[in-house]
Amino acid sequence: MKLVCNQTDLNAHLSLVSRAVPSRPTHPILANVLLIANAQTQQLSLTAFDLSLGIKTSFNAEVEVGGEIALPAKLMGDIVSRLPAGEIRLEQTQEGALGVSLISASGRYQVRGMEVDEFPELPVIEEGEAIYLPVEALMDGLRSALFATSSDDTKQILTGLHLTVKQDSLEFAATDGHRLAVVETTNTGDAAAGLEVTVPARSLRELERMLGIGDATEPLAMHQGQGQIIFEWAEQRLTSRILEGQYPAYRQLIPRQFERQITLERKQLLSALERIAVMADQKNNIVKFSIDSLNEELSLSVEAQDVGSGRESIKAQISGEDLDFAFNIKYLMDGLKALPTNEITMEVNTATSPIILTPLGSLKMTYLIMPVQIRT
């Protein structure tokens, strides 16, 4: 293997695939990144795979002699990130040797590698046709729903995002049992056949990150089968396992009618929550809301034992009678940060029924939070 590439390119792509390198690999080879230099295409591809999440990416390089080798991902990343900008030359140390030399303007480094035969192959899905999805619509859905997934591995199905592909729309749903985010975006891609699948949030966060630094004009190809899902676009590829099990019937949780509706500015509410949250703590992270329909005000208050209390009031358009109800501050703030518009509506029936937040105009999104019982 002999090639010349740009330090910026190599560093960026190493950083990208390293997200699929396990921190505690079950086998030494999994701590490596697979490098394949192709003299015909003049490209260098990098692959990492932790047996659940796999990332493969390619970029242009001046390949004199093709070849492949598995190199320690962390060491390579640490070295390349510290090398000066400009050209880097990668050369296999000698014929048949397990290692490469990295040569830059500042110096020369030798890194030992491993046999590529040990490196696990990324899954391949041969049956079925690819479904093409618009990248912008996919990004909007991921950005607005992923935050609501669960981090509790004992509820494995809830650690994933449920994606429903329809002919003219994409629906994203995420819940951790206390809150629910449902987002619908327009599907301008090729998706004649319906599809429902639950993908680990970790995998989709990496997909969101990869899409964010690429070209959003080219549609993404999605392949699903054999317990795996593959996303491909440009020179990038992400493969992930699919979560097994029945995803909750989340649509049944969303009330169809509401007795009270509040319209207010999202940023104003978020700022008030950020201030009042200073008075809250881990034992008492509850914010109480009071609807004052006569004065068209929404009051927020926090009572923290042995600490103190805080209170804020916000002007709002209110329809319906007065009511007191309470939220977990974190859940509410997470949802407000994800809502894409400044003007939002909050809809509620009773102090113990689900509360719905939706943005006015723009993205079609529903954020449901279960209230917290107020102790009197």
Which of these ranges, 52-56, 82-86, 219-223, 360-364, has the smallest mean pLDDT? 360-364
Q: 285: pLDDT confidence band, cut at 50, 70 and 90?
A: confident
Confidence of residue 304 (pLDDT cuts 50, 70, 90): confident
- What's residue 283's pLDDT? 66
Mean pLDDT value of segment 360-365: 87
> Once rounded to an integer, what is the mean pLDDT over residues 35-64?
96
192: pLDDT confidence band, cut at 50, 70 and 90?
low
- The secondary structure of residue 194, as a DSSP letter, is -
What is the per-residue burial (b if ≥16 Cβ within 10 Å, else e) of 85-105?
eeebbbbbeeeeeeebebbbe
pLDDT tens per residue across span 140-150: 999 999 999 99
Q: Do domains 2-118 and 254-369 have the same CATH topology?
A: yes
What is the pLDDT at residue 225? 87
Compute how many other C-beta atoms are within 10 angstroms of the C-beta atom of residue 337: 10
Calculate helix-pair angle for 135-145, 329-338, nearest 10 degrees: 160
Architecture in CATH of 131-250: Roll (3.10)
Among 47, 42, 87, smallest CA distance to 65 is for 42
pLDDT digits (tens, 9 = 90+) for 104-144: 999 999 999 998 999 999 998 877 788 999 999 999 999 99
HEC states along 274-325?
HHHHHHCCCCCCEEEEEEECCCCEEEEEEEECCCEEEEEEEECEEECCCEEE
pTM summary value: 0.90
Q: Give the percent of the chain with pLDDT over 70.
A: 95
Instruction: Find out whether 304 and 280 touch, Cβ atoms under 8 Å.
Output: yes
Q: Which residues of 37-62 are buried (b: 16+ CB within 10 A; e: fewer)?
A: bbbeeebbbbbbbbeebbbbbbbebe
pLDDT at 97 over 80: no
Please say if the pLDDT value at position 352 is more than 60.
yes
Residue 262 Cα to chain centre, angstroms: 30
CATH topology of domain 254-369: DNA Polymerase III; Chain A, domain 2 (3.10.150)
Give the C-alpha separation, 344 to 361, whole Å: 9
Question: What is the structure's pLDDT at 215?
Answer: 61
Mean pLDDT of the chain: 92
Q: Is the pLDDT of residue 4 over 80?
A: yes
CATH number for the region 2-118 comes to 3.10.150.10
> CB–CB of 190/133 below 8 Å?
no
What's the longest Cα–Cα distance across the chain?
Answer: 84
Q: How far apart are the C-alpha atoms of 271 and 312, rounded to whole Å?
A: 10
If one compares 192 and 41, the residue with the highest pLDDT of the two is: 41
Predicted confidence (pLDDT) at residue 375 exceeds the cutoff of 90:
no
- Locate the domains of the chain by residue range: 2-118, 131-250, 254-369
